[in-house]
Amino acid sequence: MQLTPTERDRLLLFTAAELARSRHARGLRLNLPEATALIADTVCEAARDGARLAAAVARGRAVLGPDDVLPGVVDVLTEINVEAVFDDGSRLAVIADPFGAAEAAHAAGPADPAHATAADRAPGAVLPAPDPAGDPEPTHTVRVRNTAPVPVSVTSHFHFFEANPRLEFDRSAAYGTHLAVPAGSSVRFDPGATVEVPLVPIGGARIAIGFAGLVDGPLDAPGAKAEALRRAAACGYLGAAPDGQEARS
């Protein structure tokens, strides 16, 4: 039987996960590779069952708790990335805090380094300070219609202005923004569906490289937005009316 490198990697992951399941069923606490394989395989199987990205990630985060792994694993394994095959194609699933420790800490109250226990102060322990700014609030929403005959998914930090050309929305209003959804997640637009999505400005140095190649440089450079709108309109992106003209609705 001929297998592609991706198929071989998937079988290797499944084999490691089966070993982890067997040991977990015998009451053994899992080591780092075993826990990684079991959580990643759970996400892949959830995708194969037809689950959406968020549901698959949630299933992966629920399979193991801190008491199911050897000491130190929770501190080391803080994020797992695995490419899973969903009904609408392959996507990268990002399982942050794979043991649900963040929810447990939140339920116990806000972290306060001044009142940390001796266990919290163990070597290598992470004591995050409260974020005074909190999560960024959406600045506005756009109404998006999928004119394509297939579902379209847009990930959290994709420059939304450059999203699939068959998505019809006000591209000018979406310039320099990404979806206001948790990092690593995505929004799915079913064929013919119209959805309102929240947007938040891209932060940092605000440089967009790659994506659909409509900007490839600083977002706020003089003339960058007008040139990006011109390129989008020339390439047939729906809703890409130049500034000062009404976008298609």
Q: What are the DSSP E strand ranges found in the chain? A: 79-86, 89-96, 140-146, 152-155, 167-168, 177-179, 186-189, 194-201, 207-208, 217-218
The distance between the two most distant Cα atoms of the chain, rounded to a whole number of Å, is 67
Would you state the pLDDT for residue 2?
81
Kindly report the pTM of this predicted structure.
Answer: 0.51
Would you state the pLDDT for residue 182?
83
Query: Is 77 in contact with 32 (CB distance < 8 Å)?
Result: yes
Q: Which residues of the chain have pLDDT under 50?
A: 101-103, 105-106, 109-123, 125, 131-134, 244, 246-249
One-letter amino acid of 148 = A
Would you state the pLDDT for residue 132?
46
